[in-house]
Amino acid sequence: MAKVQKLFDFIDASPTAFHAVESVRKELEKKAFSEFSEGDTWRLSKARKGYVVRNSSSLIAFAIPEKKIKGFRIYSAHTDSPVFRVKENPELTFGEYIRINVEKYGGMIVSSWFDRPLSLAGRVLFEKGGKIEEKLVNIDRNLFVIPNVAIHMNSDINNGYKYQVQKDVPPLFAKGKKGVFGKLISEETGLKADEILASDLFVYPRQKGFTFGAKDEFAASPRLDDLACVYAGLKGFLDSKDSEYVRVLALFDNEEVGSGTKQGAGSTFLEDVLFRICESLSYSRTEYLKLLHESFALSADNAHGVHPAMSEKADPVNRPELNGGVVLKFNGNQKYATDAVSAAFVRKIAKDEGLKLQDYANNSDIPGGSTLGNISTGHVSIRTADIGLAQLAMHSSCETMGSKDYEDLIKLACAYFGK
């Protein structure tokens, strides 16, 4: 329990992608990584451990070797999870009830958000001395509940119910007259209402991570997809030692909505950072491309474990179990970037480390999801394998995984980077 508690603490401190980046930033700063801005000229001859943040929600950290550089070793994961986003003009009133006007961000299991404590987190943009500044906000108390309708009034609910987000989901927030929400944000941020210009705010589940099972073999928490892979990658990255490769930890926002934003895996963020590292070391474009040829990327995002209640949805044999080891993901249509070349590379590392791996493929009649790997290779074309941790209840407000698998992922990531 003690070990997995650190993962739970990380997730608990990271209710949104902005906070996840902040959590990672704190760990990097402790290890003397310096921040580089995309708006500056970089001089990497002295500071060889750095990180770059884009949109406060994506982060790329890098460690440049002392020796001659052979290539890049990249590990990517995503900072966002399915969540309800607060719309502009957020108060909906019915009599004296005030509910919060929300819309979906990503594809969540809507029913899992009902009848549980929720709160609010995100960022607020405000004016100070003629400048626009940004502040994170995370309200650390129970603020909302989305109450179910009694079964007496919705007697068919157990036969399947089609949720209408606009009608059913707005969380119950207050009783009174309009203006309570704005006042709360002012109080929480210490800003006057007329100083606040804009915000990106999200409703998140207050549930803290916990272990369960006869031997505490399971771990449940919100946002395991994909903060468990973010955390394992960060630990492996920080535990690793100087090698012949530039070690790169690339954490992207917006995977849950297709990665097509300026800070998503479909953007030029990774390509820009890799190129600027080379440029600041006075490498030519040809030398940069030669390095890419020798590079590798691990794209880490959670995988579906076989569910005991619906095993027919899984492939008959490529069906990962919880606590069965890190999962290597394959897909015929290349939604996962793994191929024989990249699978062989990962399997060799696992073999050398004595780590078990499991294979995942979709049931051939069921389309699966996609992830970062094949989107990222559109910009930085290098050998890539998709990996992840087996989990149940993906995109529920509280997901379940094995309490041990993430430790294997830390070891695998560390060995991959160099130890």
The contact set with Zn ion (CB under 5 A) reads: 225-226, 301
Residue reference for tokens 């430790």? 407
Among residues 265 and 346, whose Cβ is nearest to Zn ion?
265
In whole angstroms, what is the distance from residue 94 CA to residue 359 CA?
51
* CB 84 within 8 Å of CB 113: yes
CB 233 within 8 A of CB 300: yes
C-alpha span between 315 and 311 (Å, rounded): 8
Torsion of Cα atoms, 243 then 248 then 249 then 255, to 10°: -140
Minimum distance from residue 34 beta carbon to Zn ion (Å): 29
Q: Give the nearer residue to Zn ion in terms of CB position, either 77 or 278.
A: 77
| Shortest distance, position 225 Cβ to Zn ion, whole Å | 4
- Residue 188 CB, nearest distance to Zn ion (Å)? 29
**Closer to Zn ion by Cβ: residue 225 or 407:** 225
CA distance 238 to 206: 29
10 Å Cβ neighbour count for 208? 14
Among residues 313, 337, 314, 336, the alpha carbon closest in space to that of 324 is found at 314
Residue closer to Zn ion by CB (options 225, 405) is: 225
> For 112, which DSSP code?
G
Cβ distance to Zn ion smaller for residue 225 or 315: 225
Identity of the residue, 225 or 399, whose beta carbon is nearer to Zn ion in the bound complex: 225
Q: Which amino acid makes up residue 336?
A: Y
Shortest Å distance, C-beta 255 to Zn ion: 6
Closest CA to 185 of 176, 195, 170: 195
Q: How far is Cα of residue 212 from the mean position of the Cα atoms in its chain?
A: 23
| Minimum CB distance to Zn ion, residue 78 (Å) | 6
Shortest Å, Cβ 410 to Zn ion: 18
Cβ 256 to Zn ion, closest distance in Å? 7
Q: Least Å distance between CB 303 and Zn ion?
A: 9
Nearer to Zn ion, 185 or 265 (CB): 265
**Residue with smaller CB distance to Zn ion, 225 or 408:** 225
Q: Minimum distance from CB of 302 to Zn ion (Å)?
A: 5
Place of tokens 């695998």: 412
User: Which residues are CB-neighbours of 249 under 8 A, at least 6 positions away?
Assistant: 24, 59, 60, 61, 62, 74, 75, 76, 233, 234, 237
CA angle 26, 28, 29 (to 5 degrees): 65
Nearer to Zn ion, 368 or 418 (CB): 368
Task: List the 303-304 sheet strands across, edge first.
Answer: 210-212, 218-221, 399-402, 390-392, 303-304
Residue placing its CB nearer to Zn ion in the complex, 143 or 392: 392
Contact (Cβ atoms closer than 8 angstroms) between residue 134 and residue 123: yes
User: How many whole angstroms separate alpha carbon 195 and alpha carbon 209?
Assistant: 36
User: Checking DSSP bridges between strand 49-54 and strand 58-63, what pairing results, if any?
Assistant: antiparallel
The length of the chain in residues reads 419
For the bound state, the minimum distance from the C-beta of residue 388 to Zn ion, rounded and expressed in Å, comes to 8
